[in-house]
Structure 1
Amino acid sequence: MLPEMRATQPSLFARLARRISLVLGVGAALLVSAAWYYADTAADKAYDRLLVGAALQMAESLAVEDGKLSVRLPASAFELLGLADRDRIFYRVIDTNGETLTGYDDLESPRAPESNDDAMRVEEGTYKGEDVRITRATRVLADPAVTGRAYVIVAQTNEARSALTRELTLRATILVIVMSLLAFVGAMLAIRYALKPVEHLGTEVRGRDPHDLTPVSVDVPRELDPFVGSINHFMGRLGERVDLLQRFIADAAHQIRTPLTALNAQIDLLGSGKMSKADRQHFDRVKERTDELSRLTNQLLSHAMVVHRADSVQLEPISLVDVARRAWRAAVPITVDPDIVVSFEAPENRPFVLGDAVSLREAIVNVIDNALRHGTRNRLEVRVNADQTHAFVEVEDDGPGIPPEGWEKAMQRFSTSKSHEGGSGLGFAIAQEVAKAHGGSLSFRPRNERGFVVVLTLPLHQKEQTAD
């Protein structure tokens, strides 16, 4: 459950990428908004100057002729306004009496004609249902026939300035997007580079041997110092636990095996005396249970040792023939039934495997011991051979064997069909765990006319060595 939960958590790189993209997105939106505002302001200023210039030219064209105010609108004013080819122009000329000399009678200025404000201003307005920009120019007349103020009102639609605003905003938006993408890519590369020490630290820890619990010594940024310190503290505590476990296994092996050996010796001495038939039956049962207890204790300690060594011992090239021969000598007792034919076969070229000699010896001992106790009737054969890629240790006996439907169950701990014969169900489980720890497997071969075979398969060492 925990690995699945951990797998769903986003990486640090993904978190930083999301946050940076969010910041860049907000920044880009603000920049685009600012670009639109400045583009709108710039377009208004540009076209307002044209509008004011045209109004001033119209105002300058007012003249008094024959005692009357007349106007001759200059073509240059309309050419100036014609620079905004998308817009329509509206104008109105008002004389000193407030009468319209020419233009649109209903065009009104945002400011009243009576206003004394002569400053040129451009304001927003609406004319004929369209949004326009309106300005008013004032001409002061001091002719004896005509005196007072005359006004020129000029209005222009907003199409050209809106188009200019959109164009400037679009260009600014493209620039902002390109710069944001470049900034995002640059930030991702910078983050990837900045996270290299984390990846290097993980590679360093993962590449360590299981038995190497020395402090991690990697150059990392200051921000990772607490993390490295926590790893080293944990590895120190783990090393202490491993040492305690090793001492416990050694002490347990010594403290438990010693009294069991003494107990067996006392039982053997007790059995040398004369006993009644009933006492002999009780004695045999006690001896049988004591033997079972010794065997189970040895197997439990062997299993604990195998599990511990699988995580703490560095594998090295070893001769499988030498290991199997030592296991064969240790597993076959001197007091074996002389009617049982026991043999050991090995090739001249000794196959080498990458493994732990102690664990492999325990695995083979358990397989041979299981065959002697529960399978062998008249023959036990131990063979070592190899092909191009794997080495094999085969233990064959002439017993009834295990039916195929019981093979999977036979690999499980404390699972046995021979409990009435003193079986503990740990032999095959120990051998299988050792095989898996070495990249191999434990399997069974169906019984044929010769017998039942248990096969321990291990991968050959790449640089296979041969006997001198």
Structure 2
Amino acid sequence: MITRNSLYRRLLTWLLLPMLALGGLMLFQAWIDARQTADRAFDRLLEAATLAIAEQVQWQDDRLWLDLPPAALEMLATDAEERVFYALYDNRGRFVTGNAELPGASDEAIAADGGLLYRDIQWRGMALREGIRRTRLEDWRQRERFDVRVAHTQEGRERLASQLLRGNLAYILGMALLAAATMVIAIRTALAPLTRLRRAIRARDPRTLAPLELPLPRELAELRETLNELLARMRRVRANQERFIGDASHQLRTPLAGLSARAELALRQDDPAQWRQALIAMQETSTRTSRLAMQLLSLTRLDNPEYRPQLAPVALDGIARQAVKQHWSACHRDGIDLGLETPQNTVEVQGLDWQLEEALGNLIDNARRYGAHRITVRVTEAPPMLEVEDDGPGIPEAKRLLMLRPFHRGSDDPDGSGLGLAIVDGIARTHGARLGLADGHDGQGLKVTLSFPGDPP
């Protein structure tokens, strides 16, 4: 079924329109050729008639005399029963004899055509084709100049032109039908690979993302490769989702089981103090579980190969102030000195404010959880850089790359998830920044830096 937006219909339309225009031009040219051919044929008869009449002109009794043979005019009489007129004029333009006083032409027009002139005229309400021959007597004693004028109506010409046109029209229509049939077959044949591609896509299992393997012409092969690239991206997205589901189920199974066990144990007790202890433990476990779930979601989004966020100018010093403000109470409660160092000028980079805030939050939280007593958040201007430095136990140089892997922890702290540095690494890659791990001041603790590329915007 051909719809309004059918490619087949559009191709057929755009190919038939030029063909129709060309056919119209061919018909117009055929009509002109038919007219010219009819004119040439009947002009030859006019020429023969004027010549036959001119040969019969003689000089008798000091005047021009004409004995007109019937064949001179019969040659112009066809089945169309045209009306034929003739006239003889002397060198002074005076009518000598004939069956009609036909109009003449100027000497210049006759001379320009070599003494024989053809023209279309309107005479007494009739459209005539006239031939004028200017010649002289062949007698050596008399070289009198005279004009022979012959004209006839154009029914025969028009009938001959119509016959020629009908013949050409039948040929043109036959060629047009053949060309149209050939065009339709060619378009269907050319679009057959597209139909095969559509059927192959429609017949596929919707759950499979395997690449299409279908021999196609070069133009459609590019479409097939584009579809295969889309399928490859979908495979990567699905693999990322499956990895998230596996990680989440593995990481959340333990705390959820712990919550269930704590609740079951508390229900077996009658002492309100034990209930309170169980509720405190359950609250801590739920907090860790919620934080773990949020980190898993962040890591999954950052690891998505199709995630291409639109970066915008952000102020690093403002992000650092916001991060310090959010974590101040938790650090103060744990007796940790949380400080901030920023330059006087605003430091801007291309980035996402919420991701950079999350990166700083993970670095501050890691330092707080792993024994730091002093944490410094630092912003530098040249080059633009974010730093979080602490005086905790630090990370040995040999293990720093391992710490960037998800779920790898440097200690047996049950509160840790091993996702903080992995998330920071993903955020750094999203911003095109370089993540660095180094020793802190005087070789103590850990200094994590995010170095952003280029100059400030």
TM class by smaller structure: 0.5 to 0.7
Tell me the residue number matched to 1:258.
Answer: 254
Q: Tell me, in whole angstroms, the C-alpha distance in 2 between the residues paired with 1:270 and 1:156.
A: 127
Q: Tell me, in whole angstroms, the C-alpha distance in 2 between the residues paired with 1:42 and 1:85.
A: 17
2:36 paired with 1:69: no
Shift, 1:12, TM fit: 1.8
- Determine if contact 2:57/2:137 at 8 Å carries over to the other structure: no
Shift, 1:177, TM fit: 2.2
Tell me the residue number matched to 2:221.
Answer: 225
Q: Tell me, in whole angstroms, the C-alpha distance in 2 between the residues paired with 1:109 and 1:12.
A: 64
2:120 paired with 1:124: yes
- Determine if contact 1:43/1:161 at 8 Å carries over to the other structure: yes
The correspondence of residues 8-407 of structure 1 with structure 2, limited to 5 A, is 10-83=5-78, 85-104=80-99, 106-112=101-107, 118-141=114-137, 143=139, 146-275=142-271
Q: Residues 113 and 107 (structure 1 numbering): CA distance in 2 closer, same or farther, change over 3 Å?
A: farther
Letter in 2 for 1:212: T
Shift, 1:168, TM fit: 1.9
Q: Tell me, in whole angstroms, the C-alpha distance in 1 between the residues paired with 2:115 and 2:135.
A: 12
- Determine if contact 1:20/1:184 at 8 Å carries over to the other structure: no
- Determine if contact 2:109/2:117 at 8 Å carries over to the other structure: no
Shift, 1:165, TM fit: 1.8
TM-align CA RMSD: 3.2
Shift, 1:83, TM fit: 2.2
- Determine if contact 1:140/1:147 at 8 Å carries over to the other structure: yes
Q: Residues 234 and 166 (structure 1 numbering): CA distance in 2 closer, same or farther, change over 3 Å?
A: same
SS in 1 for 2:144: strand
Shift, 1:8, TM fit: 7.1
Deviations 1:181-213 (A, max 9, x none): 211111110111111111112222222223332
Shift, 1:226, TM fit: 1.6
Q: Tell me, in whole angstroms, the C-alpha distance in 2 between the residues paired with 1:257 and 1:9.
A: 56
Q: Tell me, in whole angstroms, the C-alpha distance in 1 between the residues paired with 2:12 and 2:99.
A: 61
SS in 1 for 2:151: strand
- What's the TM-score, normalizing by structure 1? 0.54
Gaps (5+ residues) in structure 1? 1-6, 298-468
- Determine if contact 2:88/2:149 at 8 Å carries over to the other structure: yes
Q: Residues 111 and 162 (structure 1 numbering): CA distance in 2 closer, same or farther, change over 3 Å?
A: farther
Letter in 2 for 1:166: S
Shift, 1:84, TM fit: 5.7
SS in 2 for 1:193: helix
Letter in 1 for 2:54: A
Deviations 1:24-82 (A, max 9, x none): 10110110011011111001001111111111111111123344421111111121011
Deviations 1:374-409 (A, max 9, x none): xxxxxxxxxxxxxxxxxxxxxxxxxxxxxxxxxxxx
Deviations 1:221-257 (A, max 9, x none): 1122221111111111111111111222222233334
- Determine if contact 1:113/1:151 at 8 Å carries over to the other structure: no
Q: Tell me, in whole angstroms, the C-alpha distance in 2 between the residues paired with 1:239 and 1:254.
A: 22
- Determine if contact 2:110/2:116 at 8 Å carries over to the other structure: no
Shift, 1:134, TM fit: 1.1
Letter in 2 for 1:161: R
Q: Tell me, in whole angstroms, the C-alpha distance in 1 between the residues paired with 2:108 and 2:51.
A: 16
Gaps (5+ residues) in structure 2? 294-457
- Determine if contact 1:50/1:81 at 8 Å carries over to the other structure: yes
Q: Tell me, in whole angstroms, the C-alpha distance in 2 between the residues paired with 1:270 and 1:181.
A: 92
Q: Tell me, in whole angstroms, the C-alpha distance in 1 between the residues paired with 2:101 and 2:8.
A: 66
